Chain A
Amino acid sequence: MSDLTKMSAAQLAKAIAAKEASAVEVATAHLDRIDAVDERVHAFLHVDREGALAAAADVDAGKRTGPLAGVPVAVKDVIATKGVPTTAASKILEGWRPPYDATIVERLRAAGTVMLGKTNMDEFAMGSSTEYSAYGPTNNPWDLGRIPGGSGGGSAAAVAAYEAPLAIGTDTGGSIRQPGAVTGTVGAKPTYGGTSRYGLIAFSSSLDTPGPCARTVEDAALLHSVIAGHDVRDSTSIPQPVPDVVGAARRGAGGDLSGVKLGVVKEFAGDGSEPGVLSAFHESLEALVKLGAEVVEVSCPHFQYALPAYYLIAPSEASSNLARFDGVRYGLRTGDDGSRSLEEVMSLTRDAGFGPEVKRRIILGTYALSSGYYDAYYGQAQKVRTLITRDFEAAWKSVDVLVSPTTPFVAFPFGSRTSDPYQMYLADLFTIPTNLYGGPAISVPCGLSEGLPVGFQVMAPTMADDRMYRVAAALESAVGTLTPPTLEATA
């Protein structure tokens, strides 16, 4: 493995700016690494070798500049990239090349980053294990027989396997943080509306939030600062300045948390978390106390209803959003032999194009929105969302951030939860409240359990993304970053 692939994004940006390394060398090192390991990891659905090398050459020629000039980045396949295949890991979009870039992709290009390709995910971001990708699962670099989390398992695994220093994910119920936790990487969900959704293939529009994956908190903050900010093309984009997340991460790395109050949610105790996860979490709390933080127990009585509310709201929005995949404007069309009606062709196309989890959620969402059940399910879930928001707002009166394990368990073996959807949904138990509320949250590696990574989650008030970066960086300075296996041994 090249030394260039071991470097952080911050180090790479500095080395390229100082002409100590060329952007083409850096891109080539990462493309070679992908060639060497991706057959086993399967983090990528599409590698844009030509595009990456051309972009890198432009950086070296001084035609492209920016704060991350020449730094490679991988992009989750649910984000539109002009001329580069974008499938949301679904057969229904196989081969689709969008005619436009998502806003965050435009911003990545403007920052000088070099896009390596598109990463694997659960189909339409529905899942917690990347087992629902229509193109086969991604394998966790820590143990190739285990899941890399989901839905952004490809982005997290690409970073953990040193195939990319940075990746973009999207977080609807924990899809950046949970893969971060189980792959030993940093994953952050910015404030909803803090990063533009223009050009995202929508799953649940009121929840979807793009954000960064990286191996260090500082790198996540650098990527966050590049993609965040108001976008007039997204009506939910917040017209406020982006908090100084990079400054906060650097301040936190200094290791002083004097005066910072951390809230531990009482209702998250006794939830069936694995003992190894709990002990890594409690050891991390002790490390934060040594840095000057104070730990306070807070009650968020409605958090226990977040998971059921989410599993009504998200499928309901998905059933509406996925109506656009009808075999007319883009993607697959099946059964159009001249004898069938539009409706029949549409049904056959959607049957052939969607996988089991997507179908299950479309049907569940259609049910929750149907006449007679709307008030009992969808309407009630939206009220629960209000109560969860009130719990967060009450918590901010006594603490600066809330903390928890990111996920109740470490990476599980493939197939162990696919037969029981609700068991799979439990992976998102701790991450979902934040999505319903809209605030930012980050997962930072905090240790190992049974040789596998454990994530520590920091949740903050909306638009206080800097606060979570400060605490996360302080924890990282205390416990260190995890070093994933190099994969050479498993060749």
Chain B
Amino acid sequence: MAAISREEVAHLARLSRLAVTEEELDRFAGQLDVILQSVARIGDVAADDIPPTSHSVPLTNVYRDDVPVPSLTQEEALSGAPDAYEGRFRVPQILAEED
């Protein structure tokens, strides 16, 4: 299987919204390469006819009667927020001025 390059780690970090340092890029590329080489041997174990298992118990949707029950208050839901404004989560700008 493909080895993981420094550039690929940088790309994955961007996808993961992780601002990694140059030093971390070097370190992670080496370590992830070792991990991927170690796990690569699962590649040929299971034939095409083996079904995948995602959970060890059957997943079923959980339904209940449509009856209002107490939930977190707005104040409680916002209690851990780094920034809030008029009862809402306040976030940094999403669109730049020129957008």
A-side residues, CB < 8 A to B, are 96-100, 192-193, 206, 232-233, 235-236, 238, 302, 305, 308-309, 311-312, 319, 323, 326-333, 336, 338, 340-348, 350-351, 354, 356, 359-360, 362-364, 366-367, 370, 373, 376-377, 379-387, 389, 420-422, 425, 436-439, 462
Contacts and interface: CB of A to CB of B under 8 A. Distances in A.
Interface of B: 1-2, 4, 8-9, 12-20, 24, 28, 31-32, 34-36, 38-43, 45-46, 50-57, 59-62, 64, 72, 76-77, 79-83, 89, 91-94, 96
B81 A328 contact: yes
A380 B43 contact: yes
Contact of A347 (B19, B40, B81): B19
A326 B57 contact: no
Nearest to A306: B42
A421 to B, nearest CB: 5
Given A235-B59, A363-B18, A381-B42, A99 B92 contact: no
Given A330-B81, A342-B93, A360 B53 contact: no
A363 B28 contact: yes
Contacts of A232: 62, 64
Interface centre among B9, B32, B43, B55 (most CB of A within 10 A): B55
Nearest to B71: A100
Contacts of A382: 52-54
Contacts of B57: 192-193, 236, 238, 438
A206 B93 CA distance: 35
Contacts of B14: 347
Contact of B79 (A97, A359, A360, A384): A97
Given A329-B89, A342-B94, A359-B24, A305 B55 contact: no
A346 B17 contact: yes
Contacts of A302: 45
A54 B46 CA distance: 56
B54 to A, nearest CB: 6
A330 B80 contact: yes
Contacts of A235: 59-62
Contacts of A422: 34-35, 38
B80 A342 contact: no
A193 B16 contact: no
Contact of B50 (A96, A342, A376, A383): A383
A425 to B, nearest CB: 8
Contacts of A384: 42, 45-46
A309 B55 contact: no
B90 to A, nearest CB: 9
B77 A99 contact: yes
Contact of A364 (B17, B24, B32): B32
A208 to B, nearest CB: 11
Nearest to A423: B34
A350 B38 CA distance: 28
Given A308-B42, A382-B53, 10 more contacts: A235-B61, A327-B82, A341-B94, A342-B92, A347-B14, A359-B18, A360-B28, A385-B52, A387-B45, A462-B56
